[in-house]
Structure 1
Amino acid sequence: MENIKLAIESTPILFYQKMDFKKKACVAIIIALTMKRHVKRRYWMKKWLKKRENYSHLMLLKEISDTNEVGDYKNYFRMDEETFNKLLRMVEPILIRKNTVMRSSLPVNERLAFNSEIPSHWKKL
């Protein structure tokens, strides 16, 4: 309502007085919709989340484990640390790779961390 009142007040008076009520309402709505709304936004991030671009998943996994803040591990991996380790033990024989002359293979926990978007129904395994 304040935007509409402000819009009506900012319209030239002579032009506005000659209009009927429906036209006045339409003009007020159009002006109110086109006005910029100033919304005060607040940004908040955890320290480890800011470092996400600098770290690999493995470094991030280690830092999240070291902080021991409740919910951080679950927030990032969508499962608690115990479930992640249980899943890691289950899939380790499948994900393990050998080092070759051309490259060294990724550790199993890093490979699992790369695929951290595991469906939530896997939690119950």
Structure 2
Amino acid sequence: MASKEERKLAILLLLRQRRKRRNKYKKRFWIKDILKRRKELEEYHRLIQEMRLNDPESFYQYFRMTPSRFDLLLGLVGPYLKKNSLYREPVSPEERLAVTLRFLATGDSQQSIAFSFRLGHATVTKILEESSEALWSALQQFIKPPTTTSEWEKIATDFWQLWNFPMCCGAIDGKHVVMQCPSRDGSSFFNYKGTHSTVLLAVCDARYLFTLVEIGSSGRNQSLKQSLIDV
């Protein structure tokens, strides 16, 4: 049986080994070298500004919206995205919105978006989370479900006059967003495509204005339209 002194020595050696292991993986840089020239080389300060000034068509393809629509959206969500920092210059609301819209327009990985904008992966994750909440807070006021029979009839009339669709009260579309299965949730989010997902669904009128939205329905619904029934 080990003596008291031998046990103390073993504990000291173990603590020293753990301390070395922590120091090994300790961050060596406050900012990575490839991120230090972000404003000079990243997409927002170079490519996007060039498209805004000289190629609006490419800007539209990049963000799925025109420069003027981008500015209008920024005016709505900008106050929610403004940050202050005592340590370093924060990412501007304009760039935060650009990161979020590019992610939504392409469905690209967060790591790829991080490299394109020369931001840290964790920073992009935080931006997407905060910007999504900001977009919902700023835009939910523009979603106005019809509340009277005459409003529904007006939508149906517009569909007939503008698109030659009779007796139509809305255009429906949606998407299964692939996700990891939530803890202890069984097959609630397991969809017919063989993946776990949450459902995004929207209904718009004949003039492209949203009238109904359903966000976060479980992916096990065999049809996106089932989410509308659940609303």
Question: Normalising by the residue count of structure 1, what TM-score does the alignment of the two structures yield?
Answer: 0.46
Q: Which has the higher helix share?
A: 1
- Bigger radius of gyration among the two: 1
Larger RCO of the pair (alpha carbons < 8 Å, separation 6+): 1
